[in-house]
Structure 1
């Protein structure tokens, strides 16, 4: 016997499954509540994408960890004997910053890919807060940098790194790469959306490599030529490394930390508006 009501019930079931639930909390598109909610959703999406992308994981975690072990094995003993200070207290901060920067470059490439595929344009026409796109990227970068720093410190502990100034100072040390990383991520975002043909990886990789070999974590500042010591001592990686070394091993903290904050805030001020303007342009004009 055929049930004549079966097709109607099937239609009702399909309709119930396909319908979106009614929203219980609707915030105005330009409200702070919408910014917070939409930024969290987008941050979650970006983190899932990054940690499922082999290139990003390689650039942000695996490559820095291998580099830390390599520097310690090849140069660490010689630097320790020459200076009397365990070189791991310079290499762990240095590689943590390198991981933050190279991870931001990989994220910048992801942003360009979303621009090319038209995903930015799709998000732009949705009823979401306009600032959520930029805000979520900085939040995702902050979470990634903290995770990378913790993992690299874990590798450093296997090589002899310790928090000799106490756990509170150690926790402060973990936040220094975050301070510098926000400024660098703003720079990367501005460059990523400035031009579709800009060689982002080649340009920033060259800059990061130069900074990596001319800082106070690679070898002590006094080991560089006299005419180069001023640059080495005050470039952003060196100030952050000196602050991290002071918080872990001991030494000056306030001055290098203030310099690092100035570098980071300066990068946000200089590149913040170009990043926002470029993001709007990229979202409205797919490649």
Structure 2
């Protein structure tokens, strides 16, 4: 064998400890297998990025845990005395949803940063499934909401929160904020990609703040003015809080769960097309 050939074989010889696929084994870009594999890669990338970003960690974990403690210290006894039941069963679901929503805002800001830096454009030129970027982001959002929920539940348990309805109800309680969080994340992603000049943080933060103070987890619905009670009772956070309260403390479950699913899947149905178009536009024009 000639010397040039020996050099070539030395270059292409597999490195010990690595198992790189040969180019002829690449997944077809439009295949379902490619969508699954590439979406998980994108989700893993985002999760690692968020773990290393202090602002996302604060928004998703530290801020909600601090709010839970603040609500318990400042308002817990007053709400418990007025309603006859521990306020923790309302504030824990409330804080879980707040963590899910404000975490989505932080990740959407990161998405705009990826667009501005050209990272989305570089991903778009790779031989990857076109839907993997958006699907991977929703997977990462679901994992983030699950982590947030578990941290808040652990803090709530230390303050008196309990699963009085059994393990199956506890699993359902964990699943509800994930479904709600993915629907909310789809909406925020659509808003983040629809226009580079849209004041995303201001718009969504104001909306979240209004929902946070006008729901059934902050105080009971009967504490609001009569003309406002129907709005408060049917807003998305209230129905999700009522469902999670029923799954932990006890009470109506079926109706609030159905309403939560309607709100969540409704957000996905309304915003999935704008999110797809906006994500593609952001990747192609960055």
Aligned pair 1:167/2:167, yes or no?
yes
- 2:127 aligns with 127
After superposition, the C-alpha distances for 1:69-88 in whole angstroms (9 at most, x for unaligned) are: 00000000110011101000
- 1:228 aligns with 228
For 1:97-246, list aligned pairs within 5 A.
97-246=97-246
- 1:28 aligns with 28
Identify if the C-alpha distance between structure 1 residues 232 and 92 changes in structure 2 by more than 3 Å, giving closer, same or farther: same
Alpha-carbon distance in 1 for matches of 2:143, 2:23: 29
Alpha-carbon distance in 1 for matches of 2:226, 2:23: 65
Alpha-carbon distance in 1 for matches of 2:173, 2:103: 19
Identify if the C-alpha distance between structure 1 residues 26 and 98 changes in structure 2 by more than 3 Å, giving closer, same or farther: same
Alpha-carbon distance in 2 for matches of 1:215, 1:14: 64
Alpha-carbon distance in 2 for matches of 1:10, 1:128: 32
User: What TM-score comes out, normalization by structure 1 length?
Assistant: 0.93
Measured after TM superposition, the shift of residue 26 of structure 1 is 2.5
Measured after TM superposition, the shift of residue 197 of structure 1 is 1.4
State the superposition RMSD in angstroms: 2.0
Measured after TM superposition, the shift of residue 13 of structure 1 is 5.9
- 2:72 aligns with 72
Aligned length: 281
After superposition, the C-alpha distances for 1:29-83 in whole angstroms (9 at most, x for unaligned) are: 1010000010011110010001110000000000000000000000001100111
Measured after TM superposition, the shift of residue 16 of structure 1 is 5.5
Measured after TM superposition, the shift of residue 168 of structure 1 is 1.2
After superposition, the C-alpha distances for 1:161-217 in whole angstroms (9 at most, x for unaligned) are: 000011110111011111111110000000011111111111111000100000000
After superposition, the C-alpha distances for 1:11-34 in whole angstroms (9 at most, x for unaligned) are: 976775899652574221101000
| Runs of at least 5 residues in structure 1 that lack an aligned partner in the other structure | none
Alpha-carbon distance in 2 for matches of 1:280, 1:239: 33
After superposition, the C-alpha distances for 1:80-124 in whole angstroms (9 at most, x for unaligned) are: 011101000000000000000000000100100000000000000
For 1:255-270, list aligned pairs within 5 A.
255-270=255-270
- 1:272 aligns with 272
Alpha-carbon distance in 2 for matches of 1:23, 1:44: 23
3-state SS in 1 of match to 2:195 = coil
Alpha-carbon distance in 1 for matches of 2:120, 2:245: 40
